[in-house]
Amino acid sequence: MSNSIENSGEKIEKKYLKRKIVTRILNISLILASIFTLIFLLSVGELHIIPYDLIWLFFMYRLGVPFAVNLMGMIAYFNYEFYTILEVMNATVFDTRMPRILLAFAVGMGLSITGIVMQGLFKNPLADSYILGISSGAGLGATIAITFNLAMLFQVWTFTNMLTFYTLDVGFASYISNFMYSITISLCSFLFSCIITFLVYYLAKGRGEISVETLLLSGIALSFIFVSITQLFVLLSREQIHQTFLWGIGGFSGANWVDVIITGPVVIATSSILLLYGNDINVMVFGDDVAKSMGTDVHKSRKILIVLVSIETAICVAFVGPIAFVGLICPQIIRLLVGNDHRKLMPLAALFGGLFLVWMDFIAQTILDPGNYLNVYLNNLVKIHVDNLIQDYLNNIINIPVVGELLAKVLNNIIPQKIMGADLPVGIITSLIGGPFFIILLLIKRKRIFLGS
């Protein structure tokens, strides 16, 4: 008897040590992968920029060093044409690519960590942060903003039109108009997300305590109501169907620094607080009675978690639309590697979720025009990155520019010209991946129920 207990104790200890090592390796790997992803995605594209140039672009434009850190900066200082090229590179890297990458990472991190919390609260690995109907509320808010053109009213209320009239700058006027349009949709989406969260919480609250079952049913019922109202508005305003449809898929095509400045701090703050409740979620998974017996205030913890999840999900959805399956796929992959300890699971899943959504967005940008992208990248790969001797050697073995052109022709013939070069919403990519993943999880769960495990 004692030998069997010792053997089981040794097995548990070995399993714990193995999980600990895997957790540390994952932490280091995800941090390094995040750095590599940022550098790589800032470099690649139709305008290819080598990583070294990113450094002196940062020094020259962001830190205000006039000659940067090399001779090219001095040339740019005296050569107007070269300076113009650098201005284009600066705008491409710091005003287009970087905000899009950072926003995608923040949203992926937020959706992933909220998905884990909801799975713990509902004791169901198939739950995610949209289960409370937040995406439906956000969709109704965005539809109302688009249908009634609330951006124009908001411009009048904030005297934006007057400011634009006096500046007489068409570019500035266009920028202000697009900015007000985006921020109005985001504000309406966030407002209606908060409204549906409040209604779900009010319906689920009975005798001072929140029932998980009532919370789930209330979210489903209100989601149907809000979706029906959204569909009614869409039918009544057929001119804006395309805009409403694109927002409902979810994407980062209009990402800017304002979105990052608003979304990033909220996601970081709410995620940091959620991490503090990792141990409470571990205990609540075993039931309310067990959690109470171990000294956890179940009602208070559940209320705080629901509020934090609602705020974080609402801010993510408000700026990019409802992106599906991120809160389901990422937690499950990390859970398979590190187990069910939410103290370890939540930070790892947050990092993985950010990386996952950044790469999904990269695929969405290039999948409709891969031929042109491959042609540009392969032509620059050898030309810029390697020594001349290596370049000549490789060109004698494999003519890389020819390979790039060949791939471009093949892929351009496959993909219709009507959609060539379009920016595909990332929600389509995540849904294509998440749908089969969800079915696999259902089959695994059904198999476990059938086997009685």
Token readout for 231 is 């569909």
Q: Mean pLDDT, to the nearest integer, of 23-34?
A: 91
Rg over CA atoms, the chain: 25
Residue 58 in domain: no
Distance CA(84)–CA(258), nearest Å, equals 25
Distance CA(148)–CA(241), nearest Å, equals 13
Q: Can you give the three-state secondary structure of 61-76, one letter per residue?
A: HHCCCCCCCCHHHHHH
Q: Which residues pair with 209 in a beta bridge?
A: 206
CB 375 within 8 A of CB 399: no
Domain, as residue range, for 145:
2-43+79-368+423-451
Residue 141 main-chain phi, psi, to 5 deg: -60, -45
CB 193 within 8 A of CB 319: no
Token readout for 329 is 């796929």
Task: Check whether 408 has a pLDDT greater than 80.
Answer: no
Residue 219 in domain: yes
Please report the DSSP string for 368-383 in residue order. TSHHHHHHHHHHHHHH
Token readout for 349 is 């899943």
How many CB atoms are located within 10 Å of the residue 294 CB?
Answer: 13
In this prediction, residue 85 carries a pLDDT of 58
Confidence band of 31 (pLDDT split at 50, 70, 90)? very high
Token readout for 236 is 């009544």
Token readout for 353 is 């979720």
More confident residue, 64 or 387: 64
In this prediction, residue 109 carries a pLDDT of 95
Residue 437 in domain: yes
Q: Which residues pair with 205 in a beta bridge?
A: 210
Task: Check whether 104 has a pLDDT greater than 60.
Answer: yes
What would the pLDDT profile of 319-346 be if each residue is shown by its tens digit? 888 898 899 889 988 988 888 889 989 9
In this prediction, residue 411 carries a pLDDT of 47
In this prediction, residue 161 carries a pLDDT of 53
CA 373, chain centre distance (Å) = 23
In this prediction, residue 399 carries a pLDDT of 47
CA distances from 317 to 16, 90, 169, 298, 426 (A): 37, 29, 32, 28, 13
How many CB atoms are located within 10 Å of the residue 65 CB?
Answer: 13
Pairing status of strand 209-210 against strand 205-206: antiparallel
In this prediction, residue 402 carries a pLDDT of 47
- Residues listed for the chain: 453
What torsion, rounded to 10 degrees, do the Cα atoms 301, 307, 310, 312 define?
-90
What torsion, rounded to 10 degrees, do the Cα atoms 383, 388, 394, 398 define?
40
CA distances from 157 to 153, 160, 181 (A): 6, 8, 13
How many CB atoms are located within 10 Å of the residue 19 CB?
Answer: 15
In this prediction, residue 388 carries a pLDDT of 43
3-state secondary structure of 250: coil
Domain count of the fold of the chain: 1
3-state secondary structure of 210: strand
In this prediction, residue 152 carries a pLDDT of 66
What would the pLDDT profile of 217-269 be if each residue is shown by its tens digit? 888 899 999 989 988 888 877 767 777 887 888 889 888 888 899 899 999 99
Amino acid at 118: M
Token readout for 83 is 């300076």
Q: Mean pLDDT, to the nearest integer, of 182-204?
A: 86
Residues 6+ apart with CB under 8 A from 10: none
DSSP 46: S
What would the pLDDT profile of 353-406 be if each residue is shown by its tens digit? 999 999 999 988 887 765 555 544 444 443 433 334 444 444 444 444 444 455
CA distances from 342 to 112, 118, 173 (A): 13, 12, 48
Percent of the chain with pLDDT over 90: 20
Instruction: Sort 22 into a burial class: Cβ within 10 Å, 0-12 / 13-18 / 19+.
Output: middle
Residue 248 in domain: yes
What would the pLDDT profile of 118-173 be if each residue is shown by its tens digit? 998 888 877 888 888 888 898 888 888 888 877 666 555 555 555 555 554 555 55
Task: Check whether 19 has a pLDDT greater than 80.
Answer: no
pTM for the structure as a whole: 0.80
Amino acid at 191: L
Q: For residue 225, what is the domain's CATH number? A: 1.10.3470.10
Residue 278 in domain: yes
Residue 411 in domain: no
